[in-house]
Structure 1
Amino acid sequence: MIPYGRQDISDQDIQAVLEVLQSDFLTQGPAVPRFEAAAIAHCDAKFAVAVNSATSALHIACMALDLGPGDILWTVPNTFVASANVGLFCGADVDFVDIDPATYCMSVTALAEKLEAADQIGRLPKVLIPVHFAGQSCDMRAIAELAQKYGVRVIEDASHAIGARYLDQPVGNCAYSDICVFSFHPVKIITTAEGGLATTNDPKLAERMQLHRSHGVTRDPKLMDQASEGGWYYQMVELGYNYRMTEMQAALGVTQFERLDAFVARRNLLAKRYDELLTDLPVICPVQNPDNYSAFHLYPIQVENRAQVFAQLRENGIGVNVHYIPVHTQPYWKARGFEEGDFPNSESYYARAISIPLYFGLSEGDQDKVIEEIARATKVI
C-alpha cells in the first residue's frame, strides 16, 4: 500500500532521541527550548511555545486571547474538528465561514460579508481561526485588514503549513495574526510523533501560553503575589493544563527542522509533477495562489463518483484519504443547530475530494503507479 502520507525518520533523528533517553531529562529539560529556538529562527517570530499537540496549541492560544463564555469564534468547515472544538473548550459559541472554491481556504469575500452582517446585529466574533489548508496560506493580508476593521483577534491554524511562505515571508511570523499554530503529527511536514507549537510576537501572549501549557504554575517572581518562600516555591496563578511536550519529542523535532527546507522542496516537486501527469485525466487539481509557496501537506484532487474511485484506489494499493468532512455536518455540530447546505462551497468540495499520496519519500515510480490507478479508477484506461 502506498500511503497518502508518512514520516521520514533518519539515523540522526533516532540518535537524537536515544541521547535524550540516556540523559537526565525526559521532560522539562533543554530539548524543548532548543526546539522552540529552531521554530523562532525558521518562522522569524519572537516567541514560540511547544506543546503536546496542535489542538493543545490552539486551545492555549484561545485562552491567551481571553476567549470565554459569551464570546464567539469563527473558523472554516473544511478543517479537522479541533479547529472548532477549541472554541467550545473555552465556553464560547462557534460559527463558520465558507471556503474559496478554488483554494479551499477561507473565502475573504464570505468573511467580509459575514463580518458586515454580524456587526449590524452585534454578534462579531472575538477570535477568527483561518486554516491554511493542505499547506497553502490563506490570504492573510486581506483577512488581517478585515480583522483590524472589526476588532477581531486572529489565530492562524497552520497545522498543515510549516515551511510554507506567504508574500515571500515564512508562515508563522505572525505579520498578519496574533498567534500562529503548527502541528507535528507523523503525516505532517516534519514530526515530533505528536506535538504542536504556537508562535507569536507578543510577549504577554507568549507568557500566558507558557502558563496555560503547564497547569498555570510559575516560579517567576514577577508573576507571583508574594515573595518566594524558597527554592521549592511555586504558585498557580492561572487555570492551566498539562500540555507539555516531552524531551524526546522535542529532540526529534530539532533534527527534523534541519531537513524542513528539503522536505518542502521535495513535496513541491512532486506536486508539480502531479499537476503535469494529471492534466489529461478527469480530475480537478488544487489551485495555488501566486502569493504562496505551499508546504503541500496534502495534494487533494476532486473527482466524480468519489466513493467508487476511493474504494477502487484503496483496493489497488493506493492509500488515499479524504480531508475533510465539513465540521458543521458532524452529528455533534448538527445538534448545535447547523445543517447541511449551510456552507455550500465546503460541502461541494468534500463531495468530490480525495487526498492522494504525497510525502518526502514518495518515489517517482510510486507516483506513476498512483497516476495509473487514478486513470483506471476514473475509467480513462
Structure 2
Amino acid sequence: MKAALVFLMPPLLLVKVFSNELTHGRCYGWQMDITCSSSDKIFPLLVMVGAKPESKGCPDIMTLNANSTFERSCCTYDQESCYFPYSNLDASVTNTYFENCIGRSNCTWPIARLDIRSYDQRTCNSSIYPESTTFMVLHYYCIRATEIQSISSSFSRNLVTTLHITAQNYSDNNSTSTGIGMIRDPVTCSVEVSDCSGRVNVTGLDVRLVKVDSACKQTLTFLEDGKNSTIDCSRNSNFGAVHLFLSTTSYFMFVYIDNHTGGYLWLKFETVDKSHNMEIKCGENQSQPKRQCNTVNGTSVNTMTSLMNTEKPQSSVELAVIVSVVIIASITIACIAGVVYLKKRRPEKLSHLWDILLKICCKKYTNTIRPNVRRIEVRERSSEQPSTEVSKSSVKANLTFSMS
C-alpha cells in the first residue's frame, strides 16, 4: 500500500560543516540501515527519494537479495534518476529518519516513498518515471567519538581544531531518546584560540530547545568583548545544521541555562584557521584568557605587538618629520631659556643676543623689529641708572627751557 505523502518543501539551504560526507541508498521494501564504526555518531544531513526511468526495468518493490543486478543499479542515484528531498505535510513524518538516526552509532527504519506526480514534472516527468519513488538515499556523517564531549560535566580539552559538545545522550538500538536531563546550575565554558588572530565558528547540528507555553526554558548565550548573543527556542534548527556564532576575538565564553528536561543541543566548535588550535574548558575548569590580546576594530591582536606597531614609524618620511620637529622644539626651548637667563643675570648681553637670533631666524624682519628692541633697551638702561645721572636728552631739554 502506498503511503499518502505529498512533497511540499522549499529550496534547501545547507550549511557545509563536514568534508567526509557519506551516502547510503536502499530500495523501497527494504530498511534504511546506517552504521558508523566503533562508537562514532551519525549526523544525518539530508534524506532524498528518487526513481529510475521505467525503461530500466527496476521493480516497484524490491525484495532484498532477490536480484543483485537490480540492487546495484536500482537503489542508488545516477544522472538519469528523478531525485528530490523527502518531505511530508506532517513534519513528524518528515523528521522520522533524523530523529531515529541522529547521535546514534546505528539506526534502522523502513523506507518510505512519495508520489512523483506531486513533484516538478520538468524534473520527474510522469511519462518517463513510475508514479511513485522506488529508492531512498541518506546523506550523513560519522562523527568520531573522540571529538564529542558532554557539557553535563566539567572538562578541559586543548590542542584541538574541532570539538563537538552535546547536552544529552542519544539512545541506540532504535529506543526513544529522552533528550536533555535537567542541569540545575548554569554551565559556563571558556574558549581560547592559540593565536590572538584566531577565530572560532560555532554551528548548531541539533538545536531543539524546549518551550513551555510561550517561555523558552533552555538558552545558550555567547559572551565576548563585553557583548552577548543569546540562542533561544526561536533559533531551533529543525534537524538542519545552522550557523550560530562566529567569534571576533580569540577568547569568548558561553553559558548554557537549563530549566526543563527534554530538548536537544549538539554544537560544533571549529577554528577558522586550521593552523590554530583552541582550548575549551567547561564547568569548574573554565578560565580567564591566558594571552594578553586587545581588540582593534573587532580584531584581536597581541598587546605587545600592538604597542610596537603603534610606536614604530610607518615610513622614512614620517621619521624625518618627527626628527625635525624634535630638533626645532629643542632649539626653541634652549633659546627661551637663554633669553630668560640673560634678562635676569646679564641684561647688557640681551641686545647683542637679539641681534644674532634675528639675523639667523628672522632676517627679513630685523629692520622692523630692531628699533622696538632698541627703545626697550634704552628704557631698561634708563631705569637702571642712578637718579643723579642726567641723560643727554634731558640736558638738552633743560637748556632749551632756560633760554626761553
Please confirm whether the aligned pair reaches a TM-score higher than 0.5, indicating the same fold: no
TM-score bracket relative to the smaller structure: under 0.3
Give the TM-score taking structure 1 as reference length: 0.24
Which structure dedicates a bigger proportion of its chain to helix?
A: 1
* Bigger radius of gyration: 2
Q: Which has the higher contact order (CA 8 A, sep 6+)?
A: 1
